[in-house]
Amino acid sequence: MIKDSGIPAAREPMSKQNAKLRAKNFDEVALGYSAHQATKEASRCLQCKKPPCISGCPVNVDIPGFIKLITEGDFERAFYKVRETNSLPAICGRVCPQESQCEKLCVLGKREEPVAIGRLERFVADYVLKKGTIKVDKAAESNGQRVAVVGSGPAGLTAAWDLAKRGYKVTIFEGLHKPGGVLVYGIPEFRLPKAIVQQEIDSISRLGIQIKTNMVIGKVNTVDELLQSGFDAVFIGSGAGLPRFMHIPGENLNGVYSANEYLTRTNLMRAYLFPEYDTPIKSGLRVAVIGGGNVAMDSARTALRLGAEKVFNIYRRSRTEMPARAEEIENAQEENVEFIFLSTPVRIIGDEEGWVKAIECVQMELGKPDKSGRRRPLPLLRSEYTIEVDTVIVAIGTDVNPIIPSTTPDLNRNQRGYIIASEATGQTSKQGVFAGGDIVTGSATVISAMGAGRKAALAIHKYLFDQRRKRR
Amino acid sequence: MAYISEKRELTPEIKQLVLSAPEIAQKVKPGQFVIVRCGEKGERIPLTVVEQDEEKGTLSIILQDVGNSTKKLGNLEKGEEITDIAGPLGNPSEVTNFGTVVCIGGGVGTAMVYPVAKALKSAGNRLVSIIGAKNSQLLILEEQMRKTSDRLLVTTDDGSYGMHGFVTDALEKLMADGLNIDRVVAVGPVAMMSAVCRITEKQDIQTIVSLNPIMVDGTGMCGACRVTVAGETKFACIDGPEFDGHQVDFEELLRRQRMYLQEEKIALEKENSDN
Ligand SMILES: Cc1cc2nc3c(=O)[nH]c(=O)nc-3n(C[C@H](O)[C@H](O)[C@H](O)COP(=O)(O)OP(=O)(O)OC[C@H]3O[C@@H](n4cnc5c(N)ncnc54)[C@H](O)[C@@H]3O)c2cc1C
Ligand SMILES: Cc1cc2nc3c(=O)[nH]c(=O)nc-3n(C[C@H](O)[C@H](O)[C@H](O)COP(=O)(O)OP(=O)(O)OC[C@H]3O[C@@H](n4cnc5c(N)ncnc54)[C@H](O)[C@@H]3O)c2cc1C
Ligand code: SF4
Ligand code: SF4
Ligand code: FES
């Protein structure tokens, strides 16, 4: 109990599938709150007059507002409260790094555990999705102007939703055959069921947004051609999807995957259901995953579910510096992923037929902090050792895909190739072209991409509204 | 979605499909490919665009039945729909007047080299072509290649038609006869492209090959298609598919193409038992 207040100090726990069982299936790990648990957890919120939690949320969800409605038992209205600013609540409730955003600023967190805002958000969203009573948002009357959105990840979906509500005719162009971006090809089923992603996308596309899949912009049409063909503005939310490799010997051996390929085969192409689905994957019995972020955790846990007996996670710094969410590291640990810290691969060793047989690593020590503030890892002399593995998954980050930048010459980019866009408006160096999400910031989060989509939608609205006024 | 407006059987194993895909037909250039997916459970496979008709909004692909997905696609009939088609992908072939160009197509590779040959011819090159197949039954696009080329050599492995031997034998013959070659474009099985490169390397003739590694997205996102060129890792779908043949690590490509042999067998058995 928090002293004298009657409020429980600990948050209501959320049940999870048993670790042994879940490591062998693709069903969702975290099971969500019951109505009773949600109400109980909601009652921990102090309903602060100046709630700091809201400013921790990149889309400024009215957190005390929706939590209050939960305590009143009005789960549907609570859901619509969240939806006022967040178009994808069932997704955010599951994958937002709440501990470093809204919940980090919750006043309860100073002494005790913060309110479980993410879990409550997930609860209200699941409640309405399950009931199937979702209302179609009301769009303003058509204003006759058209906006093209490139990419259907969280940034593109959010921008499209906000613009459609303001009366714009929006077309989303997506390169792959399914919309959703990383939500469908990257984040695994056991963390974010694809049926939920699809439901959320359906519910926003009912606003009259047209989603054209299989349209790789820069190839089938360039950004300039979109502008010439009658779109009044373009929003680019194409993500950061070019896998980085380590450039060490043996990296092209059979059995070495980028995390993107490993996860895309599994999630988007459903290789875990092969041969019912046509796309194959090499599951591997002993798997090494390189990297320390969410992507590495997802890859390691996917490998277990595909049948691996042993999964090693090799990370060059220590546990404290791991960028992955604490909850996911914990889940991986429970599922028996073996962590090898302060190590980095120097070579992948193959057998006579060119298949991975082992990975050679060198131990590291932590030196002085680098630009990111984390202590820089340095190799220790003569500390090489090898681990026998048959599969290696490289999850060390992504770079910019060149298709759009190389076909849109007047779009300014920074040294690393990301599109330069105003943080407040998403405005790029090109008139009528806005950008946001991972293509601007590099790999970040679902909710920050959504925040960027929102800001850009507002800026596009201002830009086009001005145009309309001038024309009159 | 695209539907099949025409279907031709070129050989029992090789089929040509004409698809309605107006947006792609407007844009595609020689050397580029599309990614096709057949059915909600289908995989994504790359296929070169052989010809297109901008006015009709159609493009044609030629596919060899080598496994589960190509078989499924080849079994579709006129009027049926293809679930997904994306493109044009990859970079267009470099087309200018090089002088004398030899275009070589082996097996279904003839389908992939044909659009490039046509473009090179229109750019003013003197075009000598070599096409080959295992036997006369499997030879494709002979007429089209003959019409396009200043000279055409045909080879069959078993001697049932044309010159007895491989396309490389024909190439060596051309060189022995003193033909002055400015550039070679070779598309076909990896072993063939590699053999061509070994021959042209000796005389330092610039040789372009179109690589066919396993792909998934075809847009640079997954890295499945990585190949080693001049000691560097490249993604065939966005850096290629054409590369300087003398710099390509063909052995690695061949090895990586075989990554799913076991699974391919399982998939094919399943497909056969489903039918
Ligand atoms: C495995 C994995 C796990 C993650 N886990 C988390 C997590 O738990 N929590 C979290 O907050 N974040 C997580 N992230 C990060 C988060 O998913 C991304 O930051 C977010 O998806 C970025 O959104 P976006 O809209 O900018 O781009 P994306 O989601 O990458 O979407 C971009 C879309 O654009 C399409 N596209 C690209 N180029 C073109 C083109 N030329 N033409 C047409 N379409 C194009 C792509 O196909 C894609 O669909 C994770 C990322 C990965 C890879
Ligand atoms: C850029 C490019 C252009 C191509 N153009 C043509 C063409 O015009 N006509 C044609 O007949 N073939 C073409 N191919 C090859 C064609 O994509 C494969 O034959 C096809 O994917 C085989 O699939 P499958 O299921 O029928 O056979 P499988 O039994 O799955 O495989 C047979 C062999 O095909 C290769 N393969 C398997 N899956 C893929 C995949 N997803 N991507 C690429 N290769 C794969 C493997 O090396 C495998 O050993 C092209 C390949 C590339 C990369
Ligand atoms: S959207 Fe994410 S950051 Fe915002 S309140 Fe919900 S869980 Fe917190
Ligand atoms: S800061 Fe915490 S307690 Fe205060 S309103 Fe936000 S969630 Fe409730
Ligand atoms: S096929 Fe995925 S990067 Fe080339």
Residue B69 sits at the vertex; the CA angle it makes with B65 and B74, to the nearest 5 degrees, is 50
Inter-residue contact A92 to A102 (CB < 8 Å) = no
Q: Centre a 10 Å sphere on the Cβ of residue A35 and count the other Cβ atoms it contains.
A: 12
**Angle, vertex CA B247, rays to CA B244 and CA B250, nearest 5:** 100
* Residue carrying structure tokens 């510096």: A321
B270 pLDDT higher than 90: no
Which residues, 6 or more positions from A463, have their beta carbon under 8 angstroms from its beta carbon?
A: A233, A432
Q: Ligand 3 centroid to A92 CA: how many Å?
A: 6
Task: Give B-chain residues touching A265 at CB under 8 angstroms.
Answer: 216
Largest CA distance in chain A: 75
Tens-digit pLDDT profile for residues A331-356: 999 999 999 999 999 999 999 999 99
How many CB atoms sit inside 10 A of residue A49's CB?
6
Residue B53 burial (10 A CB sphere; 0-12, 13-18, 19+): middle
Contact indicator for A39, A45 with CB cutoff of 8 Å: no
pLDDT of B111 above 90: yes
pLDDT value for B275: 62
Overall size of chain B counted in residues = 275
| pLDDT of amino acid A199 | 87
Quick: pLDDT tens for B35-68: 999 999 999 999 999 999 999 999 999 999 988 8
Distance (Å, whole) CA A291 – CA A18: 26
| C-alpha of A459 from chain center | 24
Q: What share of chain A is helix, strand, coil (3-state, %, to 5)?
A: 35, 20, 45
The token pair that represents B215 in the structure block: 């792909």
User: Distance between CA B218 and CA B220 in Å, rounded?
Assistant: 6
pLDDT one-digit tens code per residue, A114-134: 999 999 999 999 999 888 877
Binding-face residues of B in 48-67 toward A, CB within 8 A: none
Q: Is A64 in the pocket of ligand 4 (CB under 6 A)?
A: yes
Report in angstroms the alpha-carbon separations of A370 from A367, A375, B67, B69.
Answer: 9, 6, 51, 49
Q: Rounded to an integer, what distance in angstroms lies between the CA atom of residue B150 and that of residue B132?
A: 17
Q: Is the Cβ–Cβ distance between B211 and B233 less than 8 Å? A: no
Angle between helices A117-131 and A35-42 (to 10 degrees): 140
A270 to chain B: which residues are within 8 Å by CB?
41
Per-residue pLDDT of chain A (472 residues; tens, 9 = 90+): 455 567 788 899 998 999 999 999 999 999 999 999 999 999 999 999 999 999 999 889 999 999 999 999 999 999 999 999 898 999 999 999 998 899 999 999 988 899 999 999 999 999 998 888 777 777 788 888 999 999 999 999 999 999 999 999 999 999 999 999 999 999 999 999 999 999 889 888 888 899 999 999 999 999 999 999 999 999 999 998 899 999 999 999 999 999 999 999 999 999 999 999 999 999 899 999 999 999 999 999 999 999 999 999 999 999 988 999 888 999 999 999 999 999 999 999 999 999 999 999 999 998 888 887 888 889 998 999 999 999 999 999 999 999 999 999 999 999 999 999 999 999 999 999 999 999 999 989 999 999 999 999 999 999 999 888 887 7
Helical H segments across A149-258, by residue range:
154-165, 182-185, 194-205, 223-228
Residues of A with CB under 8 A from a CB of B: 175-177, 185, 213-216, 219-221, 241-243, 245, 247, 251-252, 254-255, 257-258, 260-261, 264-265, 269-270, 273-280, 282, 353-354, 401-403
Instruction: Estimate to the nearest angstrom the gap between the alpha carbon of B123 and the chain centroid.
Output: 21
Q: What is the pLDDT of residue A353?
A: 92
**DSSP SS3 for B258:** coil
Residue A193 Cα to ligand 4 middle (Å): 29
Ligand nearest A62 Cα, by number?
A: 3
Does the Cβ of B196 fall within 6 Å of ligand 2? no
Using DSSP's 3-state secondary structure scheme, residue B61 falls into: strand
| B202 residue type, one letter | K
Tell me what pLDDT residue A6 has.
72
Owner of token pair 């988007």: A268
**Single-letter amino acid code for the residue at B12:** P
DSSP H or E run through B168: helix B167-176
- What residues of A are in contact with residue B27 (Cβ under 8 Å)? 219-221
> Residue A278 and residue B266: Cβ atoms within 8 Å?
no
- For residue A67, give both structure tokens: 């939590």
For tokens 């990296």, what's the residue? A251
Q: CA quadruple B9, B15, B21, B26: dihedral positive or negative?
A: negative
Q: Which residue, A356, A358, A362, is CA-closest to A380?
A: A362
Phi, psi (degrees; rounded to nearest 5) at A116? -80, 70
Identify the residue whose tokens are 């197509």.
B105
Phi/psi of residue A471, each to 5°? -65, -30
* Cross-strand bridge partners of residue B227: B234
What is the C-alpha to C-alpha distance for residues A130 and A121, in angstroms, rounded to an integer? Answer: 14
Bridge partners of B9, per DSSP, are B15
Q: What is the pLDDT of residue A3?
A: 53
pLDDT in tens, B184-208: 999 999 999 999 999 999 999 999 9
pTM for the model stands at 0.95
- The span from the CA of A278 to the CA of A291, in Å, is 29
Residue A4 has a pLDDT of: 57
Contact between B133 and B140 under an 8 Å Cβ cutoff? The reply is yes
For residue A455, the surrounding DSSP H or E stretch is helix A446-471
Q: What is the pairing mode between strands B100-106 and B126-133?
A: parallel
Which of A216, A258, A278 is most worth mutating to test chain B (most B CB atoms within 10 A of its CB)? Answer: A278
